[in-house]
């Protein structure tokens, strides 16, 4: 046996085997703490990619005692990021989400964003200084398979998907976790990116899908004929968590304000969000466009909106003669909000003047130094005043009044000089963040009840819908919800959110729905029930329509085809 062969065998068993065994153990440990499936479950596809990736990283770096460790670092970090993202948000990360890093840093406190930025810079500099620039030709040759894979995924996604159908394992359309368990993390990163690029190409065929376009035109005409100037107020509440749904918790008093309990009365309706812990724009997309957020063109649908008008609820109401207005308590650049709102059909878009100083707006955040985010009561009172003035100045002009709050966002800080803690947790371990969220709920429900009471005085014959975008991640993501028995830990419990629907002053009880059913509720109300007599409305059925049904997919692609024009 040659010296070269012996050397290769020694290197493999000293370095590659150790790396592979480490990732086997590491992924298994992460799985026991709520992470994705261990590497064992996807060895056939994942192992070759991992070993090739480790070989490539070794080739790129200078020879040194640190080379094996530095070569492993990017791959281990990739696994860590994927698992932590899943543990916090209960979904698998996509390549395109790299574009959302600036938005993440923007919403983080300055000192946290600075630390993340410094860590990223240090990591980049260490790798840059460790690269073996003298052997770049060898590195380029070794990198050719990776470059070829990237090229196919980005520029020939259909070919990649065709090949995957032959060699890949089962893709579970409703479960990222199951798909990753079958095929591996790196394999699914490539698959989802190819699927996204392929879907973008496919939208061209849906731009003239006349059946759906005609249905939306008919709906607009029906609303115009039968709505009788009835207004719609849709309030989307950031991370609006109902603590009562934790059967494993006890409180010193009711978490909801008395006026809110009176408002809700005995109704108990839920809406299932497409996201958990974050991704507000995904919930908004479903609530405004009436189709599932399938993440086919981007990890966040709103991010690829150009401002071109598409067939979402606001544009349908606009065509029916409604004045459509959106009031967002956060920042205009967050989740591409301005083009997204324009594309969905809003005529007037308002942000707080502190976040959008050059725009015409009625909103102001007020003092947010201690709580970071605009309080719901401040937002809702300003909206109530604005709507009151508008209805007085424009009699007979129906409105669609859409509001997105931001107050319940993590980490749920309280300004105890104006909102002192009134509720204590009497069971479970000490959890400061959960206790803050519970106290926020009390003050939020108090503000919501005041808003609804005021709205009914000036607009009694209207539809008011209050719904959470998603529940917050709290301290430990899904683990916190499981620990305290949220929704009695039914299947997909972390996606269930409270929804309150008030028709002409009366709070209504509905069966469980999904966020994308809300536009159907509105259409049915404005057409006096005609819409649901002519169409299947899952919110009045015992079973929910499938997210991945052919009709949902085709309607989604049609909406996105026009949104991206």
Distance CA 254, CA 543 (A): 32
Distance CA 497, CA 235 (A): 14
For the chain, the residue count is: 565
526-558: string of b/e by CB count within 10 Å (b at 16+)? bbeebbbeeeebbbeeeeebebeeeebbebbbb
Count other C-beta atoms under 10 Å from residue 202's C-beta.
Answer: 16
Tell me which DSSP letter residue 500 carries: E
Helix axes 110-130, 67-89, angle to 10 degrees: 150
Label the pairing between strands 513-514 and 270-272. parallel
Q: How far is CA 362 from CA 193, 383, 394, 449, in A?
A: 41, 8, 17, 22
| Domains detected in the chain | 3-203 (no CATH), 227-563 (3.40.720.10)
Per-residue tokens: 257: 């304000």
Backbone angle region of 300, left / alpha / beta, with phi > 0 → left and psi within -120 to 50 → alpha: beta
Residuewise pLDDT in 10s, the chain (565 residues): 555 555 555 555 578 888 989 998 988 888 888 788 888 888 888 889 999 999 998 888 888 888 888 888 889 988 988 888 777 766 687 776 666 666 555 655 566 567 667 777 776 777 777 777 777 788 888 889 889 998 998 888 888 888 888 888 887 755 677 888 889 898 988 888 887 777 777 777 788 888 888 888 888 899 988 867 799 999 999 999 999 999 888 989 999 999 999 999 888 899 999 999 888 999 999 999 999 998 887 777 887 787 788 999 999 999 999 999 999 998 877 777 888 899 999 999 999 988 878 788 988 888 888 888 889 999 999 999 999 999 999 998 999 999 999 998 888 888 888 889 998 988 767 888 889 999 999 999 999 999 999 999 999 999 999 999 999 998 888 889 999 999 999 988 999 999 999 999 999 999 999 999 999 999 999 998 888 888 877 664 434 445 657 788 888 888 888 888 7
Q: Under 8 Å CB-to-CB from 123, ≥6 apart: which residues?
A: none
């Amino acid at each position: 046996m040659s010296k070269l062969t012996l050397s290769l065998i020694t290197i493999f068993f000293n370095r590659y085997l150790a790396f592979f065994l480490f990732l086997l153990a590491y992924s298994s440990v992460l799985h026991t703490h709520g992470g994705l499936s261990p590497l064992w479950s996807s060895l056939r596809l994942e192992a070759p990619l991992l070993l090739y990736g480790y070989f490539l990283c070794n080739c790129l770096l200078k020879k040194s005692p640190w080379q094996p460790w530095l070569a492993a670092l990017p791959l281990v970090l990739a696994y860590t990021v994927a698992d932590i993202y899943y543990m916090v948000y209960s979904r698998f990360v996509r390549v395109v989400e790299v574009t959302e890093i600036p938005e993440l840093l923007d919403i983080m406190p300055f000192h946290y964003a600075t630390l993340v930025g410094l860590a990223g810079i240090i990591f980049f500099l260490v790798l840059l200084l460790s690269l073996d620039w003298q052997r770049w030709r060898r590195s380029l040759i070794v990198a050719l398979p990776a470059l070829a894979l990237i090229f196919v995924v980005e520029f020939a996604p259909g070919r990649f998907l065709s090949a995957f159908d032959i060699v890949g394992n089962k893709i579970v359309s409703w479960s990222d976790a199951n798909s990753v368990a079958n095929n591996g993390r790196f394999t699914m990163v490539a698959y989802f990116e190819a699927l996204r690029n392929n879907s973008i190409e496919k939208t061209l065929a849906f731009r003239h899908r006349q059946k759906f376009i005609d249905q939306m035109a008919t709906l607009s005409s029906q609303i115009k004929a039968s709505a009788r100037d009835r207004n719609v107020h849709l309030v989307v509440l950031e991370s609006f968590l109902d603590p009562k749904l934790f059967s494993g918790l006890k409180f010193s008093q009711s978490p909801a304000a008395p006026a809110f309990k009176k408002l809700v009365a005995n109704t108990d309706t839920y809406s299932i969000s497409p996201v958990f812990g974050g991704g507000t724009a995904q919930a908004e997309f479903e609530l405004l466009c009436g189709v599932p957020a399938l993440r086919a063109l981007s990890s966040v649908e709103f991010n690829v909106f150009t401002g071109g008008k598409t067939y979402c609820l606001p544009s349908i109401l606009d065509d029916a003669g409604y004045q459509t207005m959106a009031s967002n308590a956060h920042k205009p650049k967050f989740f591409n909000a301005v083009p997204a709102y324009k594309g969905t059909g809003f005529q007037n878009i308002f942000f707080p003047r502190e976040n959008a100083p050059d725009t015409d707006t009625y909103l102001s955040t007020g003092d947010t130094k201690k709580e970071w985010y605009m309080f719901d009561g401040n937002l809702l009172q300003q909206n109530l005043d604005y709507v009151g003035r508008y209805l007085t100045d424009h009699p007979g002009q129906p409105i669609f009044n859409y509001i997105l709050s931001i107050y319940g966002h993590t980490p749920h800080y309280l300004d105890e000089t104006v909102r002192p803690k009134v509720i204590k947790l009497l069971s479970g371990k000490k959890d400061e963040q959960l206790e803050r969220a519970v106290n926020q709920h009390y003050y939020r429900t108090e503000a919501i009840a005041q808003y609804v009471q005021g709205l009914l005085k000036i607009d009694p014959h209207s539809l008011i819908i209050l719904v959470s975008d998603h529940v917050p991640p709290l301290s430990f993501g899904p683990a916190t919800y499981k620990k305290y028995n949220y929704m009695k830990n039914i299947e997909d419990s972390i996606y269930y959110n409270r929804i309150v629907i008030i028709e002409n002053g009366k709070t209504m009880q509905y069966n469980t729905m999904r966020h994308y059913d809300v536009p159907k509720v509105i259409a049915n109300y404005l057409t006096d029930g005609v819409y649901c007599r002519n169409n299947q409305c899952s919110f009045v059925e015992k079973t929910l329509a499938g997210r991945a049904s052919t009709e949902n997919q085709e309607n989604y692609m049609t909406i996105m085809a026009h949104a991206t024009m």
